[in-house]
Amino acid sequence: MNQKHIGIMVSIIIGFTIIGAVILEQNSTPDGLDQNAVTSETLNVLLENKEHVLVVDIRTADEYQSGHLLGASHDALDSSTLEKRVTTIQNRLPDVVSGYNFVLIDNDGSDAKKAAQTMTEMGIQTFYLDGGMNNLSDNLVFSSQTVIESEELAAKLASDEDLYLLDVRQPDELLESKIDGAVNIPLADIFKPNGMDSIPTDKPVVVICGSGNRATIATYALAQEGIDFQVLEGGMKAWNSQVQSGM
């Protein structure tokens, strides 16, 4: 690819990022919203246009499964996980930090607002849905469980259930241990253009990492592609522990 074509592609990517940011910034001023709030109308436009936005539903797993916005992933982002997620994103996904906006969703906007403010203060531009799920009635979808225990996964594999195992660790980490049949796509590659092209949308995808942290972050992108995901609870640490105990 010559320099001219590369320049055009870079300009397009930057343009999409700027458009998404402008829409979010302009959303708050006319309506007198909090500077970190977005309306459901704006969020739907961003998702439909596939702007550089990652939507995370921070309600309980049961609430998420009973109805959530199409394209939203699930991550409780409580006090024990929020800092870990932010640190991992900053260290491993600098292009996501600079090129994406995050939007958090809860029931009424209160918890999401606090989490968004914290993430923004820590260096990741984050917004929240004004009014939360109370302001959403369209584009809701239902899902099965978003995590899977090692024993349950082992049973499914033993019965030859059709699953896609996605390991998002670095290649050298798989040299120590891996689950047979797992496909390795490192976390950073998931967020690259066409990074998810090989991941199926017609079967459950079990996402694997060392502890569950990176796998959960990967679902932020997977959800927007309509991929049916489940995170391996506890990651390979839990899996290896179960293997050693005889499963």
pLDDT in tens, 226-244: 999 999 999 999 999 987 7
What does the mean pLDDT of the chain come to? 88
β-partners of residue 74 are 57
Instruction: Record the tokens describing residue 172, joined without a space.
Output: 């050298």
**pLDDT of 217 above 70:** yes
CA separation for the pair 96, 67 (Å, rounded): 27
**pLDDT of 28 above 90:** no
pLDDT confidence bin for 139, thresholds 50/70/90: confident
Please name which of 145, 144, 67 lies closest in space to residue 107, comparing C-alpha atoms.
67
Mean pLDDT within 37-43: 93
CA separation for the pair 247, 224 (Å, rounded): 34
Specify the fold of 147-244.
Answer: Oxidized Rhodanese; domain 1 (3.40.250)
Residue owning tokens 């309600």: 59
Question: Cα–Cα distances in Å, from 23 out to 38, 77, 99, 113?
Answer: 9, 25, 14, 19
Mean pLDDT within 206-222: 98
Mean pLDDT within 119-147: 92
Mean pLDDT within 20-24: 50
Mean pLDDT within 65-73: 94
Mean pLDDT within 127-141: 90
Three-state SS at 239:
helix
Provide the pLDDT for residue 112: 98
Give domain limits for the chain: 3-141, 147-244
pLDDT confidence bin for 43, thresholds 50/70/90: very high
**pLDDT of 207 above 50:** yes
For 176-203, the pLDDT digits (tens) are 999 999 999 999 999 999 999 999 999 9
Provide the pLDDT for residue 113: 97
- 45 Cβ contact partners less than 8 Å away, ≥ 6 residues apart: 23
Half-sphere exposure of 187 (CA within 13 A, CB side): 25
Active site residues: 209
Instruction: Record the tokens describing residue 19, joined without a space.
Output: 């458009």
Provide the pLDDT for residue 206: 99
CA separation for the pair 15, 217 (Å, rounded): 25
Q: Is 200 exposed, middle or buried (0-12, 13-18, 19+ CB in 10 A)?
A: middle
Residue pair 244/213 in contact (Cβ under 8 Å)? The answer is no
pLDDT confidence bin for 24, thresholds 50/70/90: low
CATH 3.40.250.10 fits 3-141, yes or no: yes
Please name which of 109, 136, 206, 208 lies closest in space to residue 167, comparing C-alpha atoms.
208
Q: Same CATH topology for 3-141 and 147-244?
A: yes
pTM: 0.87
Provide the pLDDT for residue 247: 60
pLDDT confidence bin for 48, thresholds 50/70/90: confident
Provide the pLDDT for residue 3: 45
